[in-house]
Structure 1
Amino acid sequence: MSNNQEAVEEHRDTQALLAVLDAADQIPSTTRLRARSYELLSLVPGSTVVDVGCGAGRAVAELAERGVHAVGVDPDPWMLTAARERWSAAEFREAGAEDLPFADGSVRGYRADKVFHVLREPARAVAEARRVLAPGGRIVLVGQDWDAIMVDSDDAELTRTIVYARADLLGTPRAGRQYRNLLLDGGFDDITVEAHTHVFTDPAMLSLLTRLAEPACASGAVGREQADAWLAEQHRRAEAGRFLVAVPFFVAAASA
């Protein structure tokens, strides 16, 4: 595959991910969870808050509305292009969670939402967060538990196979349940952990199931016919108003 073809494929994948994120962002429970993450940051007006893995930048814009200097950081240039198009007044920088473009102790708040599960070494990201946070600064980590995604289906065994196979393709699929220990190991204090569950019944979230089934099929965990049959059942459920997916999220907060 040429570099140009790879770029086109990467762009398409980013657009597909954006569609899933945009659909999820409109659901009231996700709006409430974002608001809860801002509350846990204990925002100080005028201080700098970094949103790591900012994606299309919605949280950066919402944080700025709360009176802080919000900076979005993401390693994906396609995502940053979308973020700058959507929120032209906001600040975005290209960087990964393990190498942030901030001086030691220069940040008052650190937020990472749906980020740590893609990292191979989340402890490095925690250490980097500890480096850039000022004494007393706040860190908030939000993320789903990929092993525990629940899908109402006639074939429970196949559903488990697909969910686990998709999880195993990620860097750290169980990062959410590990947040507390990661923060303890990173030297943080006053650690709290909450669990929230998003329940999706809107057919717009069918794209999430495609993003489960297709990688599971590509990995060889399930066959093409199995994946197609499973997705077809979910489409029938959506058409009949009987679609349901539940995704548990962990929210951990601590002080530097």
Structure 2
Amino acid sequence: MSTSSSAPSTTPDQTEALIRLLDAADTLPAAAALRTRTYELLALKEGAAVVDVGCGAGRAAGELAERGMRAIGVDVSEQMIAAARARGWRADFRLGDALDLPLGDGEVTGYRADKVFHELADPAAALAEARRVLAPGGRAVLVGQDWDAYVVDSADPALTRTIVHARADLVTAPRAARRYRSLLLDAGFVDVAVEARTGVFTDGRLLPVLTGIARAAAAAGAITAEQERAWIAEQEERAAKDRMFLAIPFFVASAARPAR
């Protein structure tokens, strides 16, 4: 997962921090199971060409290549593409944007975008581009979280609600995942289906997710610095005592480009 050119740019340090966070999340069993489900929904034959849009450091593209696909990873971040290439995945990594993919018309039979559409100011344009690069009958799979629906256990639920919604308001399209079905139908895709998976995280490795949303809420002026410190201290204590609880709903949408 990375961003498109419609999202704010990040510094090298921020990108490195994002890579570390994604690595921590991607190694969790629930995340691996969700990735596997997206591969199943692509329903690709061995040797088929597939693009992973917003590929980040390349894990999904690499895994698709290991499954025998001709995998292409695309990301707008030069640093992400460099990291993906450095990891030795057997995939083709290209610099590019979700709205202007470095692919020819009908070049791929699979299109995958994981945690990308919430960064896009124009998701409809991204799906028009997805349809362009997909061969007739090709399949698209979108997966992402609903930023408004994070569930966090806390002694102060009202403050937690404020933090979650304030962080969501900073996202370009925080509710894009709940719109997947309508977006795909509007773009002319068929056989549209949506599944819901909830990731439950109690591992302190994802504590940076919680501290990050609190700091973002404070920076936006939604909570005070004192509230930020108190809420983060509580979550740090919960993590230390194996009492952290974060649940994130993910939606997985699959569809096909019409055969004609």
TM range (shorter): over 0.9
| 2:101 counterpart residue number | 100
| 2:169 counterpart residue number | 168
- In the alignment, the residues of structure 2 paired with residue 76 and residue 225 of structure 1 have an alpha-carbon distance, to the nearest angstrom, of 35
- In the alignment, the residues of structure 2 paired with residue 248 and residue 85 of structure 1 have an alpha-carbon distance, to the nearest angstrom, of 32
Task: Answer yes or no: is 1:36 the counterpart of 2:30.
Answer: no
- In the alignment, the residues of structure 1 paired with residue 98 and residue 25 of structure 2 have an alpha-carbon distance, to the nearest angstrom, of 23
| 1:24 counterpart residue number | 25
> 1:191-202 alignment to 2 at 5 Å?
191-202=192-203
| 1:238 counterpart residue number | 239
| 1:132 counterpart residue number | 133
- In the alignment, the residues of structure 1 paired with residue 90 and residue 143 of structure 2 have an alpha-carbon distance, to the nearest angstrom, of 25
> 1:4-23 alignment to 2 at 5 Å?
10-23=11-24
Task: Answer yes or no: is 1:148 the counterpart of 2:149.
Answer: yes
| 2:184 counterpart residue number | 183
Moved >2 Å (runs of 4+): 87-90
Checking the alignment, whether the CA contact within 8 Å between 1:180 and 1:252 is kept in structure 2 is yes
Task: Give the letter aligned to residue 151 of structure 1.
Answer: V
Question: Displacement, 1:88?
Answer: 4.9
Question: Displacement, 1:90?
Answer: 2.3
Give the 3 Å change call, closer, same or farther, for CA 88–27 of structure 1 in structure 2: closer
- In the alignment, the residues of structure 2 paired with residue 234 and residue 170 of structure 1 have an alpha-carbon distance, to the nearest angstrom, of 23
Which SS does the other structure have where 2:68 is aligned?
coil
Question: Displacement, 1:251?
Answer: 0.1
Q: Tell me the number of residue pairs that the alignment of Structure 1 and Structure 2 aligns.
A: 248
Checking the alignment, whether the CA contact within 8 Å between 1:138 and 1:254 is kept in structure 2 is yes
Question: Displacement, 1:87?
Answer: 2.5
Checking the alignment, whether the CA contact within 8 Å between 2:70 and 2:91 is kept in structure 1 is no
Checking the alignment, whether the CA contact within 8 Å between 2:162 and 2:222 is kept in structure 1 is yes
- In the alignment, the residues of structure 2 paired with residue 139 and residue 232 of structure 1 have an alpha-carbon distance, to the nearest angstrom, of 42
- In the alignment, the residues of structure 1 paired with residue 77 and residue 217 of structure 2 have an alpha-carbon distance, to the nearest angstrom, of 23
Question: Displacement, 1:223?
Answer: 1.2
Structure 2: 5+ residue stretches without partners = 1-9
Task: Give the letter aligned to residue 250 of structure 1.
Answer: F
Q: Kindly, what percent of the aligned residue pairs are identical?
A: 60
| 2:117 counterpart residue number | 116
Question: Displacement, 1:183?
Answer: 0.1
Question: Displacement, 1:43?
Answer: 1.0
Superposition TM-score, scaled by structure 2 size: 0.93
- In the alignment, the residues of structure 1 paired with residue 18 and residue 89 of structure 2 have an alpha-carbon distance, to the nearest angstrom, of 21
Which SS does the other structure have where 2:24 is aligned?
helix
Checking the alignment, whether the CA contact within 8 Å between 1:57 and 1:87 is kept in structure 2 is no
1:17-36, Cα deviation, whole Å (9 max, x unpaired): 11211111111111000000
Task: Give the letter aligned to residue 73 of structure 1.
Answer: V
Structure 1: 5+ residue stretches without partners = 1-8
Moved more, 76-85 or 88-97: 88-97
Checking the alignment, whether the CA contact within 8 Å between 2:66 and 2:90 is kept in structure 1 is no
